[in-house]
Structure 1
């Protein structure tokens, strides 16, 4: 426990965390930090994981932010990070907050552009990682035959111009624009 005053909201890496949360739960509210990563951070910095996050001193908050932003300097192994051997930079990274969905969208778009098999599967909305699709994975987009109803029979090409001209001559634009509810009382005579 620190001698500093209790804070009701602690801001860590751009996230507002309520002060009454325990350390482990509060750190896992940051997107990209799970239970194991939060435990490793607290063990490395020798912070009690059962205390409330509102009791953190400003120095502890800065130490946590420094370790979260660059876990390799904190001697975390490469397998502990969530993005190893980044394709663009070739380095091991740990992505946080809005970087995660942004990087995921870029990866999927790159696979589509290169026309890889994974890109085709993403494009079609099918399973990507080799799962079976014969019986499972049926939620989502329709893949098979489209659900149909009564379709109008196709007309011959020679009948099409004559049939299109006949209805236009029978009805005037004003009659075509009038709704059906207005015609009903006019037809009724006593």
Structure 2
């Protein structure tokens, strides 16, 4: 433990991290830093990974921020960074926090403007990286299929007169009259 007193909230790269979190878990709360990157930071700076973030000194926090913002100075390999060979600058970068979705939106928009195949797939909302689409990735409801019920439900009549009108409409010209109607007429004679 350090001689400095415990802090309940530590601010690293614009993120408030609770002091009771372990170092690795607390660093992974920063968007753009995963478990492996947090472990690499802790081993590079020789900080105990089981210590709580609240026990870090101001010097440790500044070293962590410096390493996070510029990992190439600590000789991290380029494959360890999350943005290699940036299209605009050509450098290997490591994006953090709100830069990640902003850059992602810019990349997708560039693909759309250049009318590349990936851009068309993004525009259509389809899979971009060659996955199958025959059975997976289906969005929305079924198209052209009626679910349940009848095509045209038959209305039941409450009084006698509309029921008599409904029966002749249901009979076709080619079909003979129902036998049930003819039988009562014979009994009357």
If the TM-score is normalised by the length of the shorter chain, which range does it land in?
A: 0.7 to 0.9
Question: What pairs with 1:91-106 in structure 2 (closer than 5 Å)?
Answer: 91-106=91-106
**Matched residue, 2:16:** 16
Q: Which runs of 5+ in 1 are unaligned?
A: 151-190
What TM-score comes out, normalization by structure 1 length? 0.75
Larger radius of gyration: 2
2:73 is equivalent to residue 73 of structure 1: yes
1:136 Cα deviation after fit = 1.0
**Matched residue, 1:187:** none
8 Å CA contact 1:30–1:97 kept in 2: the answer is yes
**Matched residue, 1:183:** none
1:147 Cα deviation after fit = 6.6
Instruction: Give the distance between the partners of 1:146 and 1:55, measured in 2 at CA.
Output: 62
8 Å CA contact 1:32–1:95 kept in 2: the answer is yes
**Matched residue, 1:124:** 124
What TM-score comes out, normalization by structure 2 length? 0.75
User: Cα distance 1:146–1:95, how it changes in 2: closer, same or farther (>3 A)?
Assistant: farther
**Matched residue, 1:133:** 133
User: Cα distance 1:124–1:19, how it changes in 2: closer, same or farther (>3 A)?
Assistant: same
Instruction: Give the distance between the partners of 2:111 and 2:67, measured in 1 at CA.
Output: 32
CA-atom RMSD in angstroms? 1.6
**Matched residue, 1:28:** 28
User: Cα distance 1:146–1:124, how it changes in 2: closer, same or farther (>3 A)?
Assistant: farther
Instruction: Give the distance between the partners of 1:98 and 1:2, measured in 2 at CA.
Output: 32
Instruction: Give the distance between the partners of 2:62 and 2:140, measured in 1 at CA.
Output: 46
Instruction: Give the distance between the partners of 2:24 and 2:30, measured in 1 at CA.
Output: 11
1:83 Cα deviation after fit = 0.2
Q: Which runs of 4+ in 1 moved over 3 A?
A: 144-150
Q: In the comparison of the two structures, how many residue pairs are matched?
A: 148
1:53 Cα deviation after fit = 0.3
Instruction: Give the distance between the partners of 1:47 and 1:67, measured in 2 at CA.
Output: 13
1:120 Cα deviation after fit = 0.2
Instruction: Give the distance between the partners of 2:65 and 2:103, measured in 1 at CA.
Output: 21
8 Å CA contact 1:22–1:53 kept in 2: the answer is yes
**Matched residue, 2:44:** 44
